[in-house]
Amino acid sequence: MTAAVIDGRAIAAAVRAELAREVAALAALGVRPGLAAVLVGDDPASLSYVSAKAEACAEIGVFAETVRLPAETTQHALLERIAALNADARFHAILQQLPLPAHLDERAVLDAIRPDKDADGLHPANLGRLLRGDPGGPAPCTPRGVMELLARSGVDPAGKHAVVVGRSLLVGKPLAVLLGGKAAGANATVTLCHTGTADLAAHARRADILVVAAGRPRTVTADMVKPGATVIDVGVNRIDDPTRKRGWRLVGDVDYAGVSEVAGRITKVPGGVGPMTIAMLLANTVRAARLAP
């Protein structure tokens, strides 16, 4: 059996087309959604991500501006810039690109973004709404993207056993809450695994839906997957590859070649969850503009 590929690029394109229509409707009312992305330092991956997000904004008509700050920016200076963006009516959403340089307090910076302008859904007020099942706040982009991938691929988590590998605040924890929520497109029984989990393979093999966000290449292999399971690979890892002109390539947290022979559905890296994360950032921005006073 060879798994059916869940095409994140195609699904993200459909989401962006829907959002473009909503942006056009807002424009007719005199509202143009605006996103400010704050980038501290010159990390190549972060630069690439911010550039991709800016291109996606331009595609659907969202006003986007990148605030670039030097790596030596102080905590006080960064918080001042966030405060200015909070007060700037041009921007309905603010994205703080992570990771931050080591001398900066990431939690304090995320907490400083106004909850209604929180593009990533990581403000404690919005995470609290997520935990209690309140749809009033934005959901973190990658977990929301995973839920959209499942829904638009015809995978209903209701009654199924979902296993999430990884407990980060960006992905694992909020995704476990979303999958187990009492709502349409959720209602799964969820197991959250992490570096302290004994016998990860045994837990993974019980999953009808297996989401891997471990941050390590090829953490999940074919022998760890239940035949016919849906496998969502969140990982993005750069590994050496002398056969490539650039000397490296991207792989996920799942051994795609082996797992695709066991799973029923699977995402690729790249081209799976990544495009959906950007699409959900756009969705959060458009939503913020629609709800702005």
| 96, 97, 160, 253: the active-site residue | 97
Neighbouring-strand partners of residue 220 = 254
What pLDDT was estimated at residue 243? 85
pLDDT at 282 over 70: yes
Confidence of residue 1 (pLDDT cuts 50, 70, 90): low
pLDDT the model gives residue 161:
98
Q: Which two tokens stand for residue 30?
A: 């005199």
Domain boundaries, the chain: 30-114, 141-273
Contacts of 83 (CB under 8 A, 6+ apart): 112
- 293 pLDDT tier (thresholds 50, 70, 90): confident
pLDDT greater than 80 at residue 140: yes
292 — pLDDT class (breaks 50, 70, 90): very high
Q: What pLDDT, on the 0 to 100 scale, is given for residue 203? A: 98
Q: Position 40: which residue type?
A: V
Looking at residue 123, its amino acid is H
Pairing of strands 237-240, 248-251: antiparallel
pLDDT attached to residue 202 = 98
Q: Please name the helix (run of DSSP H) or strand (run of DSSP E) that holds residue 276, with its range, or none.
A: helix 273-291
- The Cβ-side half-sphere exposure at 47, using a 13 Å CA radius, reads 7
CB 286 within 8 A of CB 269: no
Length of the chain: 293
Query: Which residues, at least 6 apart from 99, have a Cβ–Cβ distance to it below 8 Å?
Result: 43, 46, 106
pLDDT interval class at 87 (50, 70, 90): very high
Distance CA 197, CA 27 (A): 50
Query: Quick one: pLDDT at residue 90?
Result: 98
CA distance 287 to 116: 10
The Cα–Cα gap between 212 and 257 comes to 15
* 75 is an active site residue: no
**pLDDT greater than 70 at residue 117:** yes
Tokens read off for 76 = 């006080």
- The CATH architecture of the domain made up of 30-114 is 3-Layer(aba) Sandwich (3.40)
The two domains 30-114 and 141-273 share their CATH topology (first three levels equal): yes
Report yes or no: 48 and 4 within 8 Å, Cβ to Cβ: no
The architecture (CATH level 2) of 141-273 comes to 3-Layer(aba) Sandwich (3.40)
Q: Give how far Cα 253 sits from Cα of 75, 84, 89, 275, Å.
A: 33, 38, 40, 17
Q: Out of 116, 118, 120, 255, pick the active-site residue.
A: 120
Q: Tally Cβ neighbours within 10 Å of residue 259.
A: 24
Q: pLDDT for 195-247, tens place per residue?
A: 999 999 999 999 999 999 999 999 999 999 999 999 999 998 888 888 888 88
The single residue of 53, 117, 173, 226 carrying the catalytic annotation is 53
pLDDT tens digit string along 187-208? 999 999 999 999 999 999 999 9
